Amino acid sequence: MLKIGLTGGIGSGKSEVGRRLSAKGAMVIDADKIAREVVQPGTPGLARVVATFGEEVLHPDGSLNREKLGSYVFADSEKLAALNAIVHPLVGERVAELQRAAADDDDTIMVYDVPLLVENNLSPMYDVVIVVDTPDELRISRLAEHRGMAEADARARIAAQASRDERLAAADIVITNAGTLEALDAQVTKVWQDLLNRAARG
């Protein structure tokens, strides 16, 4: 089994790359998606978030208000650390379950979509690290266009993450996502062939 760490800053298009790798046959484990699952209503994760941050981080229906929670934690490194201390172990347990389920298949190419791979020094956990690289200004315009995020918020989110240089330093493979989706498709196809070759070599 080949273990790939896929990362990129907010607005880089990392999820687009993950979807394309999944379509090629990779088993994609999306840490963000799992992080949402472990704080669904009724989970121990959500109960701990509420105990730490208060009822005001909930929507009226009892689900987590991510925007409200985000406005608390992105401005305060201690609060962010407290949130990570709740969510990361739960995500780790779920990822381990999925890994065990796939461990029997030697041909599996497992892609871990990990936004904070570089920030948390997780590179050694993977056989190959793929970084989706996009210029900051393009990421800011995408966040405004696709998520309706204010420019100041987008810049704050980007500043809270690793720099482009730090990410590129950790990369075994770089996918540049600054052009068309066709250009992205072509790069992903090439990278997939590379991964198949690496998996075949064991």
The string of pLDDT tens digits covering residues 12-63 is: 999 999 999 999 999 999 878 899 999 999 999 999 999 999 999 999 999 9
User: Looking at the DSSP assignment, which residues form a beta bridge with residue 44?
Assistant: none
- pLDDT computed for residue 85 by the predictor: 94
Q: Sheet with 128-133: list strands edge to edge.
A: 27-30, 109-113, 2-7, 128-133, 173-176
In the chain, % of residues over pLDDT 90? 72
Q: 115 or 182: whose pLDDT is higher? A: 182
The predicted-structure confidence for 156-170, as pLDDT tens digits, reads as follows: 889 989 999 999 999
The predicted-structure confidence for 104-121, as pLDDT tens digits, reads as follows: 666 789 999 988 899 999
Q: What is the residue whose two structure tokens read 């809270």? A: 160
- Rounded to whole angstroms, the Cα distance separating 3 from 99 reads 10
pLDDT bracket for residue 176 (50, 70, 90): very high
- Rounded to whole angstroms, the Cα distance separating 69 from 75 reads 10
For the chain, the domain total comes to 1
Tell me the residue range of the domain where 191 lies: 2-201
* CATH number of 35's domain: 3.40.50.300
- Please state the pTM of the whole predicted model: 0.76
Give 58's DSSP letter: B
